[in-house]
Structure 1
Amino acid sequence: MYQLKRIVMAFCGVVLCGFCVGMLQKADLGVDPFTCFVTGIANIFHSTYSTFYLILTGILLILVLILRKHYIGIATVINLFFTGVAADAMHHLLDAILPHPSLAMRGGLMLVAIVFTCLAAALYFTADLGVSAYDALALMAAYQYHLLPFKYCRIITDGLCVLVGFLFNVTLGVGTIITALFMGPLTQWFRTHFAEPLLAHRAPAAS
């Protein structure tokens, strides 16, 4: 039962994260830091986002496999196959419901998406069945190498991604700044106050 709970948490976290990506795309007020980074690198080579998303994610995946393969698991596979599908589904749904949202509605979508992205990350981090290669960087820095608490490690990785995007002609928005500064602390808050208590009743140890 405990293992099933972890799988359900991981799946819900990944799919919810995908829905939030679709909401951020519809809000059109700034992309998340990793998207900003990938777009900036793609601009250097005058290539497409999708091409460099695969390249950079692949490089990070190899790095994580070498340093801490524990972070690669079923949730990583779920992330790979379901995040994009969930994002597209949410974006299409919002296009049908809100074809021309006002600025206030876009701002509301952005804020809801950011909060629920943090909740989603807390769910699949706590399930401990693998995370995305990018998410693993801050987790390794915080929990394997003990460089800083997770929330600060995430602010640093997100901040560096935004800096790279800015240097290579990616247009930043308020959503980019908010996610870079607040996703780490808010994700940690959801882990402590929601996800970890949800998983608190572990299976009894074998006698």
Structure 2
Amino acid sequence: MTFAVPGVNIVFIIIMLIVDRTTIGFGTLVNMFCVGFLIDTFSNIYEKVFYFQPGTITMLIHLAIGLVFFTLGVSLYITSNMGVCPYDGIAPALHKKFPGRSYRFIRVLQDIITMVIAFLMGGPVAVGTIIMAFFIGFMVNFWNDLVSNKIVGIKEEKGITEIKQA
């Protein structure tokens, strides 16, 4: 299964090249080659520091906390315009192409389609996967409006994004 990841990244890069090349940058490379290592490293640290017995309630609490921090991080790095990973670049690129559709709608649709494809290919799909598919787009959009766009100086009105000039 891990050998499929580079192939999927290549497919997403091709989609990004067709839809919006501006989403590719230094952050794209860092994300493609470093995030997996960082996740493995910090997952090991997390398990040692915050050991818990996996039960439904504790897993849902960890999922909710993880969703909040994960989506804040995605929002911050997408709005920094340093380049995004191939998967995260598709929704913002499509939002630019189709400004009548919200980022939230496009991202949720993208996540659901990806989840269905993963399921059809035999990948693990559980309650957490479904929750993430439906809420990542909403939460990233929430953080964009509340935090990230203000930090970067982006103003969005009626589906039109403007970058404030200093």
Confirm or deny a common fold (TM above 0.5).
Answer: yes
Structure 2 equivalent of residue 31 of structure 1: none
Provide TM-score, normalisation by structure 2. 0.84
Whether the 8 Å contact between 2:15 and 2:90 is mirrored in structure 1 is no
Residue 96 of structure 2: SS of its match in structure 1?
Answer: helix
Alignment of 1:55 onto 2:7: yes
Judged with a 3 Å threshold, the aligned counterparts in structure 2 of structure 1 residues 203 and 149 are, in CA distance, closer, same or farther, namely closer
> Which residue type is aligned with residue 145 of structure 1?
F
> Which residue type is aligned with residue 76 of structure 1?
T
CA distance in 2, matches of 1:80, 1:52: 13
CA offsets, 1:157-194, max 9 Å, x none? 11111111222333321111111111101100100110
Runs of 4+ residues over 3 Å off in structure 1? 201-204
The alpha carbon displacement at 1:83 in A equals 1.0
Give the paired residue count: 156
Structure 1 equivalent of residue 161 of structure 2: none
Provide TM-score, normalisation by structure 1. 0.68
Identity of aligned residues (%): 21
CA distance in 1, matches of 2:8, 2:120: 18
Q: Indicate the structure with greater strand content.
A: 2
The alpha carbon displacement at 1:63 in A equals 2.6
CA distance in 2, matches of 1:62, 1:73: 14
The alpha carbon displacement at 1:95 in A equals 2.6
Structure 1 equivalent of residue 91 of structure 2: 138
Instruction: Judge which range, 50-59 or 82-91, deviates more.
Output: 82-91
Alignment of 1:93 onto 2:57: no
CA distance in 2, matches of 1:58, 1:80: 10
> Which residue type is aligned with residue 101 of structure 1?
Q
Judged with a 3 Å threshold, the aligned counterparts in structure 2 of structure 1 residues 64 and 174 are, in CA distance, closer, same or farther, namely same
Counterpart selection for 2:79 from 96, 118, 126: 126
> Which residue type is aligned with residue 102 of structure 1?
P
Alignment of 1:197 onto 2:127: no
CA offsets, 1:105-141, max 9 Å, x none? 3322211111111101110111112111111211121
CA offsets, 1:7-63, max 9 Å, x none? xxxxxxxxxxxxxxxxxxxxxxxxxxxxxxxxxxxxxxxxxx211100110121123
Whether the 8 Å contact between 2:92 and 2:103 is mirrored in structure 1 is yes
Judged with a 3 Å threshold, the aligned counterparts in structure 2 of structure 1 residues 189 and 100 are, in CA distance, closer, same or farther, namely closer
The alpha carbon displacement at 1:68 in A equals 1.5
> Which residue type is aligned with residue 31 of structure 2?
N
> Unpaired segments of 5 or more residues in structure 1?
1-48
> Which residue type is aligned with residue 66 of structure 1?
I
CA-atom RMSD in angstroms: 2.0
Higher relative contact order (CA 8 A, sep 6+): 1
Structure 1 equivalent of residue 115 of structure 2: 162
